[in-house]
Amino acid sequence: MNNDSTKNGKTSSSNWLDEWLEKNETEETDDESLDEAAIFQQAMQGVKPIKEDNRAQTKPTPKKIRIRCHDDTHNIRDVFSDTPVDDYPDQLLYSRDGITPDTLKKLRKGQFHIDNSIDLHGMTVDAARDYLIEFLGECETHGSRCVIIVHGKGYSSPEKKPVIKPMVNRWLREVPRVLAFCSAQPRDGGTGAVYVLLKKNK
């Protein structure tokens, strides 16, 4: 039986050959795809997908701050006593010997450039002491000249008296690098904050 197709009385022997080649190529392609799929399945045996809660959680590394001692003979923690203070002056003012009246006047008017600031308002005495020590260490490291320390006015304390303010008034007098301090101008916190003039780094 002749399977060749004819057209216009002529035998076309190429059609069946083209169809056979095309079919053979398709079968080979399917076989290759099956082989690749089988190889992949075999390679992935025993592999489990990562679950959402198994993903590693990363956190930024906390910044470490170097705290330096400000007293030549004693640790500053020993100098900063936490004994309660009975004196509650509204306006704070202090200067070491050698500070000129003009320098103190300039400080009281808030005319020095403020290099840094800290807010101790609402803290416990222990927390405020540690935070202030750390802050003064940063000031020394970076060569800060004039800073603002916010201590609050004590309106939120149980006895309506300042707690941190009188402690700051005492602590700053014990720090050799503190040349002078005074209550700030209203724009910078008024009697709830102090300007602090620090000694220049050598």
Q: What is the tens place of the pLDDT at every residue in 9-36?
A: 444 455 656 665 666 555 555 555 556 6
Can you say how many angstroms the Cα of residue 37 is from the centroid of all Cα atoms in its chain?
50
**Which of 90, 82, 129, 118 is CA-nearest to residue 198?**
118
63 occurs within a structural domain: no
Residue 29 lies in a domain: no
What pLDDT does residue 177 have? 93
Q: Is residue 68 classed as helix, strand or coil in its secondary structure?
A: coil
pLDDT of residue 53: 45
Q: What is the pLDDT of residue 58?
A: 37
Q: Which pLDDT does position 188 carry in this prediction?
A: 95
pLDDT, position 81: 76
Q: Which two tokens stand for residue 128?
A: 């405020």
Report in angstroms the alpha-carbon separations of 15 from 1, 2, 6, 28, 201: 17, 13, 10, 20, 97
Whether residue 117 lies inside any domain: the answer is yes
Going across the sheet that includes 93-95, the strands are: 93-95, 178-183, 193-198, 146-150, 116-119
Residue 64 belongs to some domain of the structure = no
Strands 93-95 and 5-7: unpaired
- Whether 16 is in a domain gets the answer no
User: What's the structural domain count of the chain?
Assistant: 1
Could you list the residue range(s) of the whole structural domain that residue 113 is in? 91-198
CA 179 – CA 116 distance, rounded (Å): 16
Quote the pLDDT of residue 35: 64
Report, as ranges of residue numbers, the positions in the chain whose pLDDT lies below 50. 1-12, 52-74
- Domain assignment present for 15: no
Q: 107 lies in a domain?
A: yes
Report how far residue 9's alpha carbon sits from residue 28's, in angstroms, rounded to the nearest whole number. Answer: 35
From the CA atom positions of the chain, what is the Rg in Å?
Answer: 41
Q: According to the model, what pLDDT value does residue 119 have? A: 95
pLDDT of 86 reads: 74
At residue 115, the pLDDT reads: 96
Q: What is the CATH classification number for the domain harbouring 114?
A: 3.30.1370.110
pLDDT the model gives residue 14: 53
pTM of the model: 0.61
Within its chain, how far is the Cα of 181 from the centroid?
29
CA pair distance 173, 121, nearest whole angstrom: 19
pLDDT at 23: 62
